[in-house]
Amino acid sequence: MKSYLLSWGRHRLELGRQTCVMGVVNVTPDSFSDGGHFLDPAAAVSQAEEMAAEGAGIVDIGGESTRPFSEPISTEEEIGRVVPVIEALAKRIRQPISIDTMKAEVARRALAAGAAMINDISAMTYDPEMVSVARAWDVPVVLMHMKGTPKTMQAKPVYADVTAEVCAYLLDAADRLQAAGITRCRIILDPGIGFGKTFIHNLLLLKHLQAFAEMGYPILIGTSRKSFIRHLVKGHRQTDIHPEHPLVETGTQATVTAAILAGAQIVRVHDVANTMATVKVIDAIRNADG
């Protein structure tokens, strides 16, 4: 397992020996994963505080749904959703808060409110100003692979070799940011499970995740409650199983285990308590000596 140190401002993340759990809070009315439970700012802050208390190393706040076929929202609406939550939360938890956005102005306002990381599913290609925001604030950035946009990404995505193509994309993205003045030690890579990938593409990326772990950057994996897991665990049910069904969480923990054993340093999840139990066991097995 490769180890990395991210140190900036008042934050310090040691990635490697202990897996870092990123807790997800969607301040949206239409998230696929939690059905808009946390659109109310007070509910979102409470959920994030609970995740921090349960052991999350990062709390990720997002104000725009990125589920397949979703419609974008305005910058103003996104700011209105996330900034009040981040302002309140930054005073209550010590963990770094990550802003999940593709928009530079949203990132800028979130960082000013107390966020300390940028999680951009477009790998900073959607908004040309995002790189300058990251450079100015000197914060860690998560660069994710996505084929198309949330609205188009699941329209029959095709790859000749999904692992090789996603690896190449992420390495190019990391090189592009470094050329623009972002230091290497601020970059985290995410293969983008479920973002422009078919059922088999997702399985192949997890199967061959070690290829990403060998690229020399911390790897973040977000499989939590994704549709490929729901498909696998629903058994003989004729309709899709609900994302919050216990079987889906069991499937999620299986993917978390696979990701950690293949070299992921950060796992992004909705259920922090269950994931912390998984992480403690898997990390103990990985680190056993004697």
> Which residues are tagged catalytic?
226, 268
* DSSP class per residue in 197-238: --HHHHHHHHHTTHHHHTTSS-BEE--TT-HHHHHHHSTT-S
Strand partners, 20: 266
73-79 LR contacts (CB < 8 Å, sep 24+):
75/103, 75/105, 75/106, 78/103, 78/106, 79/105, 79/106, 79/109, 79/110
Give the separation between CA 180 and CA 220, rounded to whole angstroms: 22
Q: Is 194 left (phi over 0), alpha (psi -120 to 50) or beta?
A: left
Report how far residue 57's alpha carbon sits from residue 60's, in angstroms, rounded to the nearest whole number. Answer: 10
